[in-house]
A and B are shown apart, each in its own frame.
Chain A
Amino acid sequence: MTAPAKIVLSDVHKSFGKKVVLDGIDLSIQKGESVVVIGGSGTGKSVMLKSVLGILRPERGSIKVDGEEVIGMRSKDRDRMMLKFGMLFQGSALFDSLRVWENVAFGLIQGRGMNRIQAKDIAIEKLAAVGLAESAGDLFPAELSGGMQKRVALARAIATSPEIIFFDEPTTGLDPIMADVINDLIVKCTKELGATTLSITHDMASARKIADRIAMLYKGRLIWVGPAKDIDHSGNEFVDQFIHGRAEGPIKMELRA
C-alpha cells in the first residue's frame, strides 16, 4: 500500500479577469520527494505555488496538504498550516527593516514563539549551514549581494526545519557559479531535513540538479510529468523545445500580454 501523498492538486483553476492562468492542474507530490515545475515566464508557475500557500485562492479544484483542504481555509488554520512550510522567494523577500539574523529567526520568534536569544543561536547555525559567517547576521539585507541574499533567504526557509519547502526561481539573477552553489545548498539542506520540496524554475541546470521529478507547465496545464532522468527523452516536442532553449518549435512567444 502506497503512503498518502503530501501535497495533492486536483483540477485547480485560477484566472485573473479573462486571463486563464491555471486551467485544470493535477499534481501529486509524495513525502520526501522533490518536484520541479518548469515552464516559460508567465505560464502560471508562481500562481500555482501561491495557490498551495493560500496566498491566492483558485476558483475551482482542490488542494490538499497532508489530506487537509487548503482552499477556503480559515486564516487561523492557515497560520497553523504554514508552520509546516518554508519558502524561498524569487527576489528573496527579506525584510529590509530587520537584521539578517532577525530575518532568519523570524519564523521561530513570530511563528513559534521562541525567545530571541535561542532563536538567534539557531539563526546563526542556519547561516553557517548556507556558508555565511556569524558577522553577516548583524548586517541589513541591503548590505548584502544578490547571492548572499539568496543564501539568507534559504537559511530563513529552512530555519524552522519545515516539512515542506517551496523554491520560487531559486537561481534567477545569479551568475552560473553562484546558481550552482545555491542548487547544492538546496539539495544538501533538504536532504538533511528530509523535506518535501516543490520548486519552480526555468533554469534547466537547476531543475536537473534538484529534481526527483519534473513537470512542465504550458498554457495553464501540466503537459508532461516524469522522472528527472527522463527529461531528455520525454517524447514531448514542447518539453524538447523548452529544455534546449530553441526559438523554433510549437511554443510561440506571445508578444502581447
Chain B
Amino acid sequence: MDFLATIGRVFLAFLSHVGRLSAFTGTALSHVVRPPFYPRLTLRAMVEIGYYSLPVVGLTAVFTGMVLALQSYSGFSRFAAEGAVATVVVLSVTRELAPVLAGLMVAGRIGASMAAEIGTMRVTEQIDALTTLSTNPFKYLVAPRLLAGLLMVPCLVLVADIIGVFGGYIVGVYKLGFNPSSYLARTWEYLEPLDVISGLTKAAVFGFVISLMGCYNGYYSRGGAQGVGAATTNSVVSAAIMILIFNYVITALYFGK
C-alpha cells in the first residue's frame, strides 16, 4: 500500500507542477502582449542571450561541422558516397545539430543564469519588493526574458548554421581534399529553404522554452542558497528534456511523411 501511495503522491505532484507551469506560462504570455512594456530590459536580455552566447554557440557549431565532415567522409567512403559529405553536413547542421546543440548550450548558459538571478531575487524578497513598488514581476522580470529568448535563439542558430557549414568546408577542403568550388556547389545543390526554416522554428521554440524554464524555476525557488541551486539545476535539466521532446515533435510536423 505504501508503494501505491508513493506512486499516487508522485503523480499528484507531477500534475500540480504541470498545472502551475501552465498557469505561469499563460500569465507570462498575457504580460508579453499587454503594456506597459520594458524595452530597455528586453534589449538587455537580448544582448545577454544573443551577443554573449555567440562564442560558445560558435565554437559548438564549428567543431560540430568539422566532426560531421570527418565522420560522414569516413562512413560514406565504405560505399563510395564521399561526394555526399557537403550535403550531409549542411542538412544535418541546419535541420538538427545547430538548433539542438545551440539550444542545449544556451539552456546551460542562459537558463541557469535566469533561474539563479530570479531565484536569488525571490529568496531575498526582491520580487516582493517589486510588488510593493507597483511593478508586476511578470511584466518586469519574465516577459522581457521570454521575448528575448524567442527572438535571439533563432538569430544564434542562423549564425551557427553558417559557422557549422564553414567548419565542414574547412575540413572538407583542407583535410579531405575536396575541391572548394565543388564542395560549395554540393552544399547549395540540395539545400532547400524549408531546411533552414524548420531549424529556425525549432530555435524559436527552444528559446522560449529555455527562458520559460529559467524564469519558472527561479520564480518558485525557496529555501535560500540550496533552493536557488536546485532551481538552477531544474531549469537546465527541464529545458534540455523539453528541447529534445519538442525537437522530435517539430521534426515530425515538418518531415513526418
Give residues in A with beta carbon < 8 Å to B.
Answer: 50, 53-55, 75, 78-80, 82-83, 85-87, 89-91, 93-96, 106-107, 110-112, 156, 166
Contacts and interface: CB of A to CB of B under 8 A. Distances in A.
Contacts of A112: 134
Contacts of B140: 110
Contact of A107 (B124, B125, B126, B133): B133
A87 B135 contact: no
A95 B126 contact: yes
Nearest to A113: B36
Interface in B101-159: 120-121, 124-126, 128-129, 131-136, 140
Main secondary structure of the interface of A (DSSP, over half): mixed
A50 B128 contact: yes
B-side interface mostly: helix
Nearest to A111: B134
B interface, size bucket: 10 to 19
A91 B140 CA distance: 21
A81 to B, nearest CB: 9
Given A91-B124, A93-B125, A95-B126, A85 B132 contact: yes
A159 to B, nearest CB: 9
Contacts of B131: 53-55, 78, 82
Contacts of A110: 133-135, 140
Nearest to B123: A91
Contact of A90 (B125, B134, B135, B136): B125
28 contacts: A53-B131, A53-B132, A55-B131, A75-B136, A79-B136, A82-B131, A82-B132, A82-B133, A83-B134, A85-B132, A87-B129, A87-B132, A89-B128, A90-B125, A91-B124, A91-B125, A93-B124, A93-B126, A93-B128, A94-B126, A95-B121, A95-B129, A96-B126, A107-B134, A111-B134, A112-B134, A156-B133, A166-B132
A112 B133 CA distance: 9
B125 A89 contact: yes
A7 B132 CA distance: 16
Given A106-B135, A107-B134, A55 B128 contact: yes
A141 to B, nearest CB: 10
B35 to A, nearest CB: 12
A111 B124 contact: no
B135 A111 contact: yes
Contacts of A95: 121, 126, 129
Contacts of B134: 79-80, 82-83, 107, 110-112
Contacts of B120: 96
